Amino acid sequence: MPEHADSPDPADRAPGAVTVASGARLHFGFGNLSLAHERLYGAVGVALDEPRVRLTVAPAETVASDHGAAEGYAGRACDLLGVPGALVTVESELPRHMGLGSGTQLALATLAGVAAAYGRDPAVREHAPALGRGGRSGVGVAAFETGGFVLDAGHPTGRFTTARPADGDWRVPAVAARHAVPDDWRFLLVVPDVGPGRSGDDEDSSIRRTVEDADPAVADRVAGVVQRRLLPAVAEGSAERFGEAVAEVGRLNGAWFADEQGGVYRPPVGDVVAALDEEPAVYGAGQSSWGPTVYGVTDAARADAARDAGERALAEPGVGGDVRVVAPRNRGADIDAVDD
């Protein structure tokens, strides 16, 4: 159960209102999308301190919320936990379907909030599938639990093939490797002002087509980058080598998804990434999940220069958008009692 450092265990709390806050995540790509290998998916990502979802949950006799999706998650959470109801107020949320993990963080924050409001253990990893989360990537669940850099183990290919099982009919992929991210690392976020990334049935169809045709040789190349470059870089604290490695993982994943998204990156992400590749303050750049969010790896000393580089990169394709530089997050969600 993720907890603020000064918070008591939820099982020790008397029922009462709580706040839950959790940061976004970046999704750098998958380890394998080919049915020819014995493990499918296997995601790589990192937890961010910002932007954040923040909500308040109070015990209630019925389920109610000012936010439609949160109300649905709260109703399911109450059923899973065997409690009568909850009042959920969403104070801030992540941009939806922009490559930052908005759905998983909202779902798990709601679940954890309902549990904490009643002094219950949310069993986040156990219950996430019933909320429709963790079906392919386990990065969002792990980011909520512990933060940091995460590599998950994926799913057995024979069990988890092209068709997406019904909600709840899977286990969240186990964490194969987790590392705290050095405090001085920073992540540039460039969000072009374009349509959201794929989600729902559209995403499921795209993944299914991609998996059916994926070249297994690409997975072998990804494995080499992860094993020989990415994991050593994060373990040794080299932002430069880490950035170069995750950018390569993203490019290789783009080879799988090119037919579905119109290229290695979805337009106009490719232009933004190409512009950032020329910037010395950015060690590596790529597309998070389906985009359109573009990430760049940098450090605190180069944060201002990286932000300026992000502004220039948006000017390259002539689109507006948002640019920020954020810190990594090396802890799970914050859960705090609301003062009376």
pLDDT by residue (tens digit) across 66-116?
999 999 999 999 999 999 999 999 999 999 999 999 999 999 999 999 999
113 closest CA partner among 134, 340, 105, 148: 105
Q: Could you tell me the two tokens for 18?
A: 């709580």
Q: Which domains does the chain have, with CATH numbers?
A: 10-337 (3.30.70.890)
Please tell me the number of Cα atoms within 13 Å of 35 on its side-chain side. Answer: 13
334 closest CA partner among 47, 43, 40, 41: 47
Q: Letter for the amino acid at 188?
A: L
- Whole-angstrom distance, CA of residue 159 vs CA of residue 176: 19
Q: What mean pLDDT do residues 202-219 have?
A: 90
Give rounded-to-5 percent helix, strand, coil for the chain. Answer: 40, 25, 35
pLDDT band at 201 (very low <50, low <70, confident <90, very high): confident
pTM: 0.93
Contact (CB, 8 A) for 163 and 273 = no
- Whole-angstrom distance, CA of residue 191 vs CA of residue 50: 14
Contact (CB, 8 A) for 171 and 129 = yes
Ranges assigned E (strand) in the chain? 18-32, 39-59, 63-65, 86-92, 149-152, 155-156, 175-179, 185-192, 284-287, 294-299, 321-326, 334-337
- Say yes or no to pLDDT of 277 above 50: yes
